[in-house]
Amino acid sequence: AQSVTQLDSHVSVSEGTPVLLRCNYSSSYSPSLFWYVQHPNKGLQLLLKYTSAATLVKGINGFEAEFKKSETSFHLTKPSAHMSDAAEYFCVVSRLTGANNLFFGTGTRLTVIP
């Protein structure tokens, strides 16, 4: 079985300050892990993915995430928030191989204060 817990439903940061969105996962299999972003009235967009290669994963728009197996975590970070980062962020787990679907967390809404 697989599941994801996003520890904060809402995070608020000031523009130019660091962003940290927390995610813990549970998986019976070797996991693939993803972060997706959803802007209002837009489709889900993949930010980054972990697929058993490097544990520090870099994504688009300056985001990165670190896979920590011992902590079963995959937190998303960005050094400096931009106004355009305001959106809903979903942490997602899947099986690394084989046919399967994505398991989404409940999402974290990021607000960026000017």
In the complex, what is the shortest distance from the CB of residue 34 to another protein, in angstroms, rounded to a whole number? 7
Alpha-carbon span 88 to 51, nearest angstrom: 23
Q: Which of 51, 62, 66, 86 binds another protein (CB under 8 A)?
A: 51
Q: Which of 1, 56, 101, 114 binds another protein (CB under 8 A)?
A: 101
3-state secondary structure of 83: helix
Q: Does residue 86 bind another protein (CB under 8 A)?
A: no
In the complex, what is the shortest distance from the CB of residue 13 to another protein, in angstroms, rounded to a whole number? 21
CA pseudo-torsion sign 27, 106, 97, 69: negative
Distances (CA, A) of 85 to 21, 23, 47, 92: 12, 18, 11, 19
Q: Which of 24, 27, 32, 73 binds another protein (CB under 8 A)?
A: 32
Read off the DSSP letter of residue 8. Answer: -
Site stretch for another protein (CB under 8 A), options 16-24, 31-39, 61-69, 71-79: 31-39
